[in-house]
Structure 1
Amino acid sequence: MRTGYGVETVRAAERALMARLPEGALMRRAAAGLAAACGRLLGRTYGTRVVLLVGSGDNGGDALYAGARLARRGAGVTAVLLAPERAHEGGLAALRAAGGRVRVAPGAVVEGVAEPVGDVIARADLVVDGIVGIGGKGGLRPAAVELADLVRDAGVPVVAVDLPSGVDADTGEVPGPALAADATITFGAYKPGLLIDPAREYAGAVRLIDIGLAPHLPETCDVEALQHADAARLLPRPVAESDKYRRGVVGVVAGSGRYPGAAVLAVSGALRSGAGAVRYVGPGTEAVVSRYPETLVSEGPPGHAGRVQAWAVGPGLGDEPAAQQAIDEVLASEVPVLVDADGLRLMDMDAVRARTAPTLLTPHAGEAAALLGVAREEVEAERLAAVRGLAERTGATVLLKGSTTLVAEPSRPGAAPSPVRVNATGTGWLATAGSGDVLTGLAGGLLAAGLSARDAASAAAYLHGLAGRLAADPPSATDVSAALATAWQDVMRGG
């Protein structure tokens, strides 16, 4: 499991660790890891050119000390200072002692500057972004924007120190100009902004450097991302005495005369969920049975379809009169319920809040915006706040689809908030019609198999994202569904 911690938590842990170490030892650890990572990215160190973009504070100090290490190994290192009067003194002295050079950002005046900064950047093999640390708020300042533009125009690879400058470490928001990195070397712990879009897109490949922080971090993190072993532990496994009913029966209410494919796709995901049986309810029985004859079918209503351990309702219901009855009946049931797509539009919010059995909502950004009463752009820019806010407003677990799928559950009285789960397996290829219907069936089946709403959502997102990567490019929703079995096997082998 990859765990992410907010800025204040990380800083408290750093203070506790620094109290046990000689002065400067923690920064030297970070700089050593950063320099080693830069060396691996360069392929060789001797004879290469490295430019450090250095702001004030410890983030710039990390860059300067790492630059000194690279200079001692034969790299030509130039530090470009955005605030010369506030540059880290020890780091600056170390760089100069190692033979590194110093320049200033555009707008500053220092005697002895022999060449423009733009030329230095254009000739670099690597740029190290040490402009702003994890405490930065708001976008880059004008001087930093000018440097970022020079770097972008030169096309030089960028390594960010701890976090790309201009992104919010706590939320993953990008409130203004930011410097995109090809790789980010982060210290001690992941920060939420490295795992959540839109900031994640600026981070590139993220590598965590162990600086001894783990013993000083709390047990409960702010965000967490499953890995193969975590997903494998969640997925249901049949035992010798299992039968189809013990493994769970999931009811799928989806499709309409206008959208029969939604029924087929939702059922396809449910059949690959590990549940023992799938009951389909709706007008698409002919289409479903012709494709998946193992499905148990009923034209409805859901209350007459037979026993289920969970319901998945919503894809392709449209505006037909039976749709409202179906969503009302399902929400009135006493088993776990997943609501997606048209079901989110038709559901009664009071009925959702009144439920005692688990409820899982799976909106995309537009649907979440409608439920929250805000613009879609606000949800996309503030995904972490949106998923938490929707979980609190509805009292349900929420899976917010997107480039990074997030899963949040409402807080419980007297209990610490659960970490928001971030799915790292997603791919842009999943942004295709019907892909969400497959996810609905898959997550609904995991609910029926006995997983909690949070675990069912997390495991389904993980498998769904992995299937999107394993399917042929470009994949259709049918291809994604077909790849779920391979994704499942891959996770079980890796776990």
Structure 2
Amino acid sequence: IADGILGTGARGAPRQREAAAIRLINASDTPVVSLDIPSGADATSGAIPGEVIKAELTISFGAPKTGTLLHPARGYVGRHVTLEIGLPPLSESDAIGRIVTPQWARGQLPVRETDTHKNRVGRLLIVGGAMGMAGAGILSARGAFHAGAGFVQVCTSAANRDLVQAAIPEAIFIPAEDREALQEAAAQADALVVGPGLGTGLESEIMLAEALGQGSQPVLLDADALNLAAQGSISLSQIGSMRPVLITPHYGEMTRLAPELVSADSRLDVARAFASECSISVLLKGAPSIVTSPAQPILFDTQGSSDLAVAGMGDMLSGVCGALMAQGLEPTVAGAVGLYLSGRAARICERGAGLMPSDVSERIPDVLKEKTDLRSNLPFPFVVFDAEADQ
């Protein structure tokens, strides 16, 4: 069944006649192909105000419609294919964002020189892991190494030394109590990751201040670093005026950071407004995860799935993105590529709901080596985007 009941300009719940047709189609066993967007879904916001088609395949023309990328509509799209049909190219002002495709992500990956060494391919310092939270730093460090960092240091409580060194002996351990060593490591790093398992007490505030007080290299702030920011311990706008910054909140952390913005109509508006307000890059985790920075199009991740909804996945992602920043990618690009690498690695793991962060990080090197064209398995040159059904 070809679904073209409602077009992309439709707003609000379908009227009685259209709603009845949608119910009849959904009750059928026949596969449904929707044109541009499943009828009943809002093509801009992804809202579903009434009856909606449940499609096996959605074919969009020219470019994907924003609503097909956003929940709840995304769950009704099925496989999503975009066709080039000769429409005029979209201008930057016309496009709200861009999709992170395999081709784009691979084109952004750092390229190592043939004559190099560990200190020239990304020195990363990870600051976090309060007593009893060593796992966060370990997962972050594993993600960093698998994403190509050449030299990784983990600064955490001295009580975590044995756990960290046993779990990831490749990393250099720095006890958080050694302020001079922390300052030296931060000054020499190409990028910093601060926050995984950091805690929010006084000692954590001191560690955060020490790490941020050394140089102007890029920094990724996650987890408890964001909670400390929400408490007023640091000013993100001040830090953003001094160095490149990527923050990686989930929506709960975003709510604490900017409660006055969360009343906005969409996650997109919240992330974009906060990035502009603080002059930083924002990777807002969710379904889908998005990356935005001031005056730039939003980057939409299409690889993530519900399999990634497990504790520790954000710590691992921070390490991956931090490693890419240490290798020279600017924060927005590092965030988008990190999402792609992690999401693609999760898909090729094929572990389903049993997926763990370590599973993902271990498959990232396989994603980095992929050379085949992942655009589509459809034999048509006019297919420009092809995404699996949402999982």
Q: Are residues 1:357 and 2:243 paired? A: yes
- Please state how far the C-alpha of 1:493 moved relative to its aligned partner: 5.0
Q: Are residues 1:484 and 2:364 paired? A: yes
- Please state how far the C-alpha of 1:240 moved relative to its aligned partner: 2.5
Q: Tell me what 2:127 maps to.
A: 253
1:370 partner SS: helix
Q: Tell me what 1:169 maps to.
A: 43
1:338 partner SS: strand
1:394-413, aligned counterparts within 5 Å?
394-411=278-295
1:255-334, aligned counterparts within 5 Å?
255-283=129-157, 284-300=160-176, 301=179, 302-305=182-185, 307-333=188-214, 334=216
- Aligned residue pairs: how many? 359
**Equivalent AA in structure 2 for residue 337 of structure 1:** V
Task: Tell me if the contact between 1:396 and 1:409 (Cα under 8 Å) persists in the aligned partners.
Answer: yes
1:305 partner SS: helix
Task: Tell me if the contact between 1:399 and 1:408 (Cα under 8 Å) persists in the aligned partners.
Answer: yes
Q: Which has the larger radius of gyration?
A: 1
**Equivalent AA in structure 2 for residue 485 of structure 1:** P
Identity %: 34
The 3 A distance-change label for structure 1 pair 385 and 155 is farther
The 2-side partners of 1:250 and 1:437 are apart by 14
Q: Which has the higher contact order (CA 8 A, sep 6+)?
A: 2
- Please state how far the C-alpha of 1:166 moved relative to its aligned partner: 2.6
Which moved further from structure 2: 275-284 or 130-139? 130-139
Q: Tell me what 2:220 maps to.
A: 338
- Please state how far the C-alpha of 1:245 moved relative to its aligned partner: 1.7
Q: Are residues 1:195 and 2:69 paired? A: yes
Task: Tell me if the contact between 1:172 and 1:382 (Cα under 8 Å) persists in the aligned partners.
Answer: no
Q: Which runs of 5+ in 2 are unaligned?
A: 375-391
Instruction: Work out which of the residue numbers 218, 222, 238 in structure 1 matches 2:91.
Output: 218
Q: Tell me what 1:31 maps to.
A: none
- Please state how far the C-alpha of 1:435 moved relative to its aligned partner: 0.9
The 3 A distance-change label for structure 1 pair 314 and 255 is same
The 2-side partners of 1:187 and 1:311 are apart by 41
The 3 A distance-change label for structure 1 pair 354 and 366 is same
- Please state how far the C-alpha of 1:214 moved relative to its aligned partner: 3.3
1:65-214, aligned counterparts within 5 Å?
126=1, 128-214=2-88
**TM-score, reference length from structure 2:** 0.85
Which moved further from structure 2: 228-237 or 320-329? 320-329
2:119 partner SS: coil
**Equivalent AA in structure 2 for residue 365 of structure 1:** Y
The 2-side partners of 1:472 and 1:324 are apart by 40
Instruction: Work out which of the residue numbers 306, 320, 324 in structure 2 matches 1:446.
Output: 324
The 1-side partners of 2:19 and 2:260 are apart by 30
**Equivalent AA in structure 2 for residue 420 of structure 1:** I
- Please state how far the C-alpha of 1:374 moved relative to its aligned partner: 6.4
**TM-score, reference length from structure 1:** 0.68
2:11 partner SS: coil
Task: Tell me if the contact between 2:196 and 2:222 (Cα under 8 Å) persists in the aligned partners.
Answer: yes
Instruction: Work out which of the residue numbers 297, 314, 317 in structure 2 matches 1:419.
Output: 297
Q: Deviations over 1:294-348 (max 9, x none)?
A: 2111113432435101111111122343211222333444111101111111124
Task: Tell me if the contact between 2:205 and 2:233 (Cα under 8 Å) persists in the aligned partners.
Answer: no
